[in-house]
Amino acid sequence: MNNYLTCEQSREYFPYLKTGLIYFNHAAIGPLSSKVKAALDSYLVQRSETVIENYFETLPQSRSAKERIARLLNVEPKFISWTDNVSNALNVIAQGIKWQHGDQIILNDLEFPSNVYPFMNLKNYGVEILFAKSENGIIDLPQIEKLVTSRTKLVSLSLVQFLTGYRANLKTIGQFCKKNNILFCVDGIQGAGAIELKLDELNVDFFAGGTQKWLMGLQGLSYFYISQELLEKVDQKYVGWTSVKDAWNLINYDMTLLDSAERFQNGTSSRIGMIAADASLSLFEEIGYKNIENQVLDNSEYLMNSLNENGIVPILLNKSRENLSGIVTFKHSDSENIFNTLKENKIICSLREGMIRLSPHFYNTKDDIDRFINTFKDLNIRK
């Protein structure tokens, strides 16, 4: 039996809490834990004082980070590649598939631009982009299915919508896509780290995420998973010296590509980002991903119910728990004033498209949420 660290116990690893700040903005960028800070301090000492060329000294941590990402997604490490951001990850599949004139891609009208522009860029190849219409903040199979034709080649959507927090049923969509010979691509940046994932059960062909949000790492390091079947089909448009099998035989120039997803790592990647990811995910594994998901969803439900009790109806109120995530959003006629007042009271959230977006994580508590609610109530009184 695993002796997991509790979410309450994990609060000791977040020094910013001692300042009185309430941070509900993990959907934008996550704070660094003391575990991450210690790992980065050690790395910087090496780079500035001791082992300046520390590539080989930090290789175990970079490998460990990728193994942790693989465990996060429940896939094999050989199908994980590092990249710098989700947009470039999605460009790998957008540019790597052999498109035919008239092929169709289904997106939707709530997607973050990272999951739109790489595919819109294919219009020059005669690819048609169709946008499924959301219904009350929801995008799932019923909205997608309406647009599917015999020419549909790929469906791409976010696991969790960045505006509404709706979590799509990947298993149902994956089964549908597989049955209809459609590639299934997922932007997972708003889900991974907050929601337990088992990609091996979901028929997902491509999954991209970043380390700076719910995974609480650094900006500039992202990753993607590619299935074995898709790996064998993708026409790799960009290669570099680390894409090949015999990379360290420097002037041999044998461009035999690696058999794994590492073939897409064309050169130097963010080693400091890997150090941070390894340290951050070590804490996640001490808690357990299912325990993290339970706490994240408990926080979201408590937050939505508390808002509703005070006259604010969150977009996803009363939706099934399986379709919730760590994001809670509500509309208000005076959102900007609310956002600024919360910030003045050391409560950090996001203002997105005129809506207030709150995204507490596993270490946040009901007391944190109550403080937000009380501040919000005081704001209403003053209006």
Burial group, residue 369, by CB count within 10 angstroms (0-12, 13-18, 19+):
buried
Same domain, 95 and 73: yes
Is position 206 within any domain? yes
Sort 252 into a burial class: Cβ within 10 Å, 0-12 / 13-18 / 19+. Answer: exposed
Q: Both tokens of residue 147?
A: 């647009």
Tell me the pLDDT tens digit for each residue of 320-372: 999 999 999 999 999 999 999 999 999 999 999 999 999 999 999 999 999 99
Q: 63: domain CATH number? A: 3.40.640.10
Contact between 376 and 310 under an 8 Å Cβ cutoff? The reply is: yes
Same domain, 48 and 162: yes
153 with 194, same domain?
yes
d(CA 259, CA 279): 28
Same domain, 221 and 367: no
> Looking at beta carbons, which pairs linking 188-191 to residues 24 or more positions away fall under 8 Å?
188/158, 188/159, 188/160, 189/86, 189/158, 189/213, 189/214, 189/222, 190/27, 190/158, 190/159, 190/160, 190/161, 190/162, 190/165, 190/214, 190/325, 190/326, 190/327, 191/158, 191/159, 191/160, 191/167, 191/325
Same domain, 208 and 354: no
Domain assignment of residue 233, yes or no: yes
In a domain, 278, yes or no: yes
Identity of the residue numbered 355: M
Query: pLDDT value at position 301?
Result: 98
pLDDT in tens, 47-94: 999 999 999 999 999 999 999 999 999 999 999 999 999 999 999 999
pLDDT in tens, 246-267: 999 999 999 999 999 999 999 9
What 8-state DSSP symbol labels residue 356?
A: E
Residue 244: DSSP 8-state: B
Q: Does residue 2 lie within any of the structural domains? A: no
pLDDT category at 380 given cuts 50, 70, 90 is low
In tens, the pLDDT along 157-196 reads 999 999 999 999 999 999 999 999 999 999 999 999 999 9
**Which pLDDT value is given to residue 141?**
97
Asked whether residue 109 falls in the same domain as residue 152, the answer is yes
- How far apart (Å, rounded) are the C-alpha atoms in residues 308 and 328? 12
Q: Which of 265, 284, 303 is the last residue of a domain?
A: 284
Q: Quick check: is 3 in a domain?
A: no
Residue 184 half-sphere exposure, CB side, CA atoms within 13 Å?
A: 25
| Residue 166, phi then psi, degrees to nearest 5 | -70, 130
Q: Tabulate helix, strand, coil % of the chain (nearest 5).
A: 40, 15, 40
Residue where one domain finishes, among candidates 284, 315, 350 = 284
CATH number at residue 293: 3.90.1150.10
Of 235, 265, 284, which closes a domain? Answer: 284
In a domain, 111, yes or no: yes
**Can you state the angle between helices 59-73 and 271-287, rounded to 10 degrees?**
50
**What is the pairing mode between strands 128-132 and 104-108?**
parallel
CA-CA distance, 281 to 11, in Å (whole number)?
15
* Parent domain of 77: 42-284
**302 and 256 fall within a common domain:** no
Question: Quick one: 229 and 151 in the same domain?
Answer: yes
Average pLDDT of the chain is 96
**Together in a domain, 265 and 359:** no
115 close to 156: Cβ distance less than 8 angstroms: yes
* pTM (predicted TM-score): 0.96
Query: In which element (H, E) is residue 152 found?
Result: strand 152-158
Nearest to 186 by CA among 175, 196, 199, 176: 199
Find, among 45, 16, 48, 47, the residue nearest to 30 by Cα: 16
Q: Report if residue 121 sits inside a domain.
A: yes
Residue entry with tokens 């007042």: 341
CA 363, CA 34: separation in Å to the nearest integer? 14
**Quick one: 279 and 322 in the same domain?**
no
Residue 330 and residue 164: Cα distance in Å, rounded? 8
C-beta atoms surrounding 152 within 10 Å: 20
Number of folded domains that form the chain: 2
User: Are both 96 and 143 inside the same structural domain?
Assistant: yes
Euclidean distance between CA atoms 350 and 341, whole angstroms? 12
Residues 128 and 84 in one domain: yes
Confidence check: pLDDT of 383 > 70:
no
Residue 1 lies in a domain: no
The pLDDT > 90 percentage for the chain reads: 97
Determine the Cα–Cα distance for residues 261 and 11; give it in Å rounded to an integer: 35
Q: What is the pLDDT of residue 268?
A: 93
